[in-house]
Amino acid sequence: MDPESFLKLLFETAVAKAQPAQCLPPFLEKIIRPSGRTVVFGAGKASAAMAQVAERHLAWPLEGLVVTRYGHAVPCQQLEIVEAGHPVPDQNGVTAAARMLETAAGLNRNDLALCLISGGGSSLLSLPAPGLSLPDKQCVTTLLLKSGATIHEMNCVRKHLSAIKGGKLAAETAPAKLLMFAISDVVGDDLAVIASGPTVADSSTFEDALEILLKYNIQEPLSVLQHLQKAESETLKVQDQFLKNVENYLIATPMQSLEAAAQVVSAAGMKAQILGDNIEGESGKVAQEQAAIALAVQQQLSSDSKPTVLLSGGETSVKVSGSGRGGPNTEFLLTLMQELQGRAGIWALACDTDGIDGTEDNAGALITPQSFIKASNLGLEPAVFLADNDAYSFFEALGDLVSPGPTMTNVNDFRAILVMSQ
């Protein structure tokens, strides 16, 4: 298999490991049918696929509502699927979240609530806290996305602007039993951060959220700052009685996907080295660090050494200053290519496992030893495209975008760097 096809195979393997059809059934098999209703709530890019799996594996009537990103719906027979805006929230997400709270409030101790959560759920569950509006949340979300804030920071703010996140869905569901199943897209697999933890106790505070906005010099909208300063209706904490009937389960993680890819590398007679599933920071800086690692690895290889594949996950960010198109993975690759300068023997792929890099229609891209020369022949200067945050256009011109479409799951970024001797 050629290096480009092999890197794509590794990405496909990582995605397959986190598919709801593979990771959810073992948990569903342990559920005992309640004497009352079984109501399903869901939010995230994988939530519709999770709902479909639930319908196929639970042999009794289900009802409920799941909200997913536009283009991520799949057919369901009993459960309603709603599509909404991501990463910037819209009215569909507001309405869906409000309906979930209304339904949850009608449950009793004989009922069972199933909550299907995955990455993207924080934007999709967009019901504002009392006193705030959808435009308020859209404004602060857009500013945070451009600031370079981490997902932990973004979701801390989101929780404190929300009527449903930070455990508040669980509060409405009580006294019914609630089982939450989550596919992790966050560094550290913190259940309180995935989709901003609608059923999970939250250790962060209004003060923390306000400090994050100040850190990134976000001074609008004024209504958001005033809401955080008032610090009313805090998120649920560990000791809260509303959480006593809640069980939260992690069913798929980034590390599991990296390990699945590593097994394929080993089966191909190569050496796999996992750099970590928790890599954060600016995409460009991470690319510089990994370029240095790749070059150091290559220097240790002899002509008869096994090739090495450097695997990593996490969620890098981009501080947007230009007006171009792109996302963290293409920004990572463009910087990596600039650092490697067409070094022979090194190929790389970087893709988001949800199939969407940022807000574009690609998962990411790949580079080969010939990419740098090919770009030069086309008159494409990496530094110019990086300055405008326009990595998408760069790789589109090269024909090296990876565009599988929505994958119906999400375990964060996936990066693979194949290193051979020169």
Q: What residues form DSSP beta bridges with 65?
A: 41, 80
Same domain, 112 and 184: yes
Does residue 264 share a domain with residue 143? Answer: no
**8 A C-beta contact, residue 315 and residue 412:** yes
Say whether both 348 and 205 belong to one domain. no
Q: What is the pLDDT of residue 264?
A: 98
Q: Cis before residue 26, ω within 30 degrees of 0?
A: no
87 — pLDDT class (breaks 50, 70, 90): confident
User: What does the pLDDT look like over 251-282, one tens digit per residue?
Assistant: 999 999 999 999 999 999 999 999 999 999 99
Q: Which residues have a Cβ under 8 Å from the Cβ of 333 and sit 6 or more positions away?
A: 287, 348, 349, 350, 364, 365, 366, 367, 391, 395
17 in a structural domain: no
Same domain, 83 and 232: yes
Q: pLDDT band for position 239 (50/70/90)?
A: confident
How far from the centroid of its chain's Cα atoms is residue 113's Cα?
A: 24
Give me the mean pLDDT over the 291-301 stretch.
Answer: 96
Q: Does residue 221 have a cis peptide bond before it, meaning omega lies within 30 degrees of 0? A: yes
- Point out the least confidently predicted range of 51-55, 73-77, 119-123: 119-123
Same domain, 231 and 283: no
Strand arrangement of the beta sheet that strand 364-367 belongs to: 271-282, 308-317, 413-419, 346-352, 364-367, 401-402
Residues 188 and 90 in one domain: yes
- Domain tally for the chain? 2
pTM: 0.91
Residue 242 and residue 177 share a domain: yes
Mean pLDDT of 41-50: 97
What share of the chain in percent tops pLDDT 70?
Answer: 100
Pair 376, 272 in one domain: yes
**Domain for residue 273, yes or no?**
yes
259 in the same domain as 246? no
| Phi, psi for residue 319 in degrees, rounded to 5 | -85, 110
Query: What pLDDT sits at residue 81?
Result: 97
CATH code assigned at 128: 3.40.50.10180
Out of 230, 252, 274, pick the residue that ends a domain: 252
Q: For residue 369, what is the domain's CATH number? A: 3.40.1480.10
Among 236, 252, 268, the domain boundary falls at: 252
Structural domain of residue 355, as residue ranges?
Answer: 3-11+255-419
